[in-house]
Structure 1
Amino acid sequence: MAETINLNKARKRKARAEKERRAEANRLRYGRSGAQRRQDDSEEATARRRHEQHRRDEKPPSSS
């Protein structure tokens, strides 16, 4: 004779497994350590400063 199962428990177990699968995919896609985020932020700030240092200030044409 087949084992009886509670359909609510089976449905919830399936939903939890699906949620965990999606969470794992998101961790692989978006997950970075705090050190990696700080490193990227630091590199971005350095690049922004270098870019600003090379900016040419436009002098308005003299009206002579």
Structure 2
Amino acid sequence: MARDAGKRAAKTEKEARAAANRVRFGRSGAEKKRDKLERTRAERDLDGTRRETPPSDPSKPD
């Protein structure tokens, strides 16, 4: 019985630590979606302003 009480106490402590970590580090689904949208928008904008460099001709030496 003492062993069961110890296991229960450890489980309760682990659950409390997990809840605290969710609060500290967790992000909601909406936040993740917003960040992904911002990242893809920034990449698209950057690609739209990027200059195309002509492919180098392997037959011509530098």
* TM-score, normalising length: structure 1: 0.70
Identity of aligned residues (%): 43
Q: Which has the larger radius of gyration?
A: 1
Is the aligned partner of 1:17 residue 2:12? yes
Which ranges in structure 2 are unaligned for 5 or more consecutive residues? Answer: none
Deviations along 1:11-45, whole A, 9 cap, x unmatched? 11211122112211320233211111111111111
Answer with 12-21 or 41-50: which moved more.
12-21
Per-residue deviation at 1:9? 2.4
RMSD of equivalent CA atoms: 2.1
Answer with 40-49 or 54-63: which moved more.
54-63
Rate the CA distance shift 1:61–1:27 in 2: closer, same or farther, 3 A. closer
* TM-score, normalising length: structure 2: 0.71
Which ranges in structure 1 are unaligned for 5 or more consecutive residues? Answer: 1-5
Superposed structure 1 runs of 4+ greater than 6 Å apart: none
